[in-house]
Amino acid sequence: ESQQRPLVGVGVLIFQAGTNRCLVGRRKGTHGGGEWALPGGHLEHGESFEECAAREVLEETGLELGADVCFAYAVNSVFPSGAHYVTVFCRAEVPLGAAPRNLEPHKCEGWEWVEYSRLAQACQPLFLPLAKLLQSPYRP
Ligand code: 8DG
Ligand code: MG
Ligand code: MG
């Protein structure tokens, strides 16, 4: 898929309160199938980054993000397919007991909590934007 202009994706780092664990899932489908990614999706017309983050997380996991959701970092990804995304990462915390559901099972194999510092080892292969975030200077 080659785009005339880059698209904007939003990825969301959801941390379990009081831990360094965040939510990741293995993607299904043509774009990044089999690769581990954060919940997220396309920024829609007129949306703020935070609105997009909360909407996609609710659609995909059933988790309701609070007012703490905020911009974290951005990366630029040109995929081997030719697709070009600017990915805006947001972060938020949910209570320790919050239980994500796999509400789009045709798009994701399931959600797991993984230590941020272990993502690069535990979650291979990584979706390109997440690999770029982990290689960046950003520290959550
Ligand atoms: P949508 O079209 O319903 O908005 O999105 P979706 O159905 O949730 O699709 P998606 O593949 O999860 O997200 C759309 C695109 O967003 C994806 O193909 C590439 C881009 N994207 C990034 N970074 C990230 C990320 O970290 N996580 C997710 N899930 N998507 C991302 O550029
Ligand atoms: Mg979505
Ligand atoms: Mg998605």
Does the C-beta of 101 come closer than 6 Å to ligand 1?
no
Tell me the pLDDT tens digit for each residue of 58-111.
999 999 999 999 999 999 999 999 999 999 999 999 999 999 999 999 999 999
pLDDT at 3: 55
pLDDT at 58: 98
pLDDT at 9: 98
What is the pTM assigned to this prediction? 0.95
| Nearest-5° Cα angle at 112, 107 to 116 | 115
> Which residue has its alpha carbon closest to ligand 1 atom 7?
41
Q: Which residues crowd ion ligand 2, with CB under 5 Å?
A: 41, 56
Does the C-beta of 55 come closer than 6 Å to ligand 1?
no
Q: Which amino acid is at 75?
A: V
pLDDT at 4: 85
Q: Which atom of ligand 1 is nearest to the CA of 59?
A: 8
* C-alpha to C-alpha distance for 25 and 74, rounded to whole angstroms: 20
